[in-house]
Amino acid sequence: MIETILQYVIQSTIRSGLYALVAIGFTLIFGVGGVLNLAHGASIVLGAYGAYFAATQGLGIPGAVAAAVVIPAVFGAVMYLTIIRRFEHEPIMVMILTLVVSVAIEQVVLKTFGAQPVAVPQFFSGNFSLGATNVQANQAAIFVLSWALIITLFLFINYTKQGKAILATSMSAKGASLMGIKSSRINLTTWIIAGALAGVAGMALGSQLTANYHLGRNPLVLSFSIVVLGGIGSIRGSVLGAYLIGFLEVGVVEFVSSDLTGIAPLVVLVLVLLVKPEGLYGRELAE
């Protein structure tokens, strides 16, 4: 029993870190640009398949990681520059266009790599024991990596000039522009960061099990719940939300039924929206 619970805690902790990476990117784009990026799931897929492709080309783990970061980051930049910038003040159009783009990306991946799941390379192989349970080194690496990224991003946002500019733009685009901050550059930065984070999460998700062309859908839908629960635009809220949702999701699947995958977070989402739409952290960035 204890073992099951320990296993559950470890599983959820690692999974939640990845959800946080996905959700932070989502919330950054929403907080700064005011648009919902429904192609965020496509970045996850691109990260996983980028890593897989680099590995099959014999580039090794460093190559795989680089591909998982760079390809989705470039994808984010291209998306912003070609599509989003034109419809920046038309959030509905952005939702539709990003959704269509994500479907297109999924189709390209499906046609290029097939419907069979592929094995994404692991960061590290092997096992070690923690207390009474066995932990894969890869999972530990993912945990460390996700927290390293979260902390780095937190420091970047709060203590660098670029980061503060992002914060300022999300508080008031107009005020920021009066201070000489170019909002289009800030937006571009957030799209690149969001893409890179999602790509890393994609590689990590794929390396735990396998990757398929619709790998990104579930995390994307989960990040709706996470972002709304944490409070739209709040990074701290996203991390907390990711852990709450992650533990809930893994718990329901583990202890109730695996057929219920995805339902509990959606129910939480609807409840939060009805009861406390501003989420846990309201809008931290605006304070």
Under the rule (CB under 8 A), what is the footprint of other proteins?
30-31, 34, 36, 83, 86, 89-93, 95-97, 99-101, 103-104, 107-108, 111-112, 170-175, 221, 224, 228, 232-233, 257, 259-263, 266-267, 269-270, 273-274, 277-278, 283, 286
Beta strands in the chain (DSSP E): 127-130, 133-136
Assign residue 139 a region (left: φ > 0; alpha: ψ between -120 and 50; beta: otherwise): alpha
Q: Which residue carries 């760079």 as its tokens?
A: 70
Quote the least distance from Cβ 187 to other proteins, whole Å. Answer: 14
Quote the least distance from Cβ 270 to other proteins, whole Å. Answer: 6
Closest by Cα among 87, 75, 91, 77 to 42: 75
Nearer to other proteins, 131 or 277 (CB): 277
Nearer to other proteins, 65 or 101 (CB): 101
Nearer to other proteins, 79 or 203 (CB): 79
Residue 168 CA from chain centroid, whole number: 22
Quote the least distance from Cβ 66 to other proteins, whole Å. Answer: 24
For the chain, the straight-line distance linking the first and the last C-alpha, in angstroms and rounded, comes to 45
Nearer to other proteins, 91 or 117 (CB): 91
Quote the least distance from Cβ 214 to other proteins, whole Å. Answer: 11
Q: Letter for the amino acid at 115?
A: A
Quote the least distance from Cβ 159 to other proteins, whole Å. Answer: 23
Nearer to other proteins, 131 or 175 (CB): 175
Q: What is the secondary structure of 64-117 as a DSSP string? A: HHHHHHHHHHHHHHHHHHHTGGGGTT-HHHHHHHHHHHHHHHHHHHHHHH-SS-
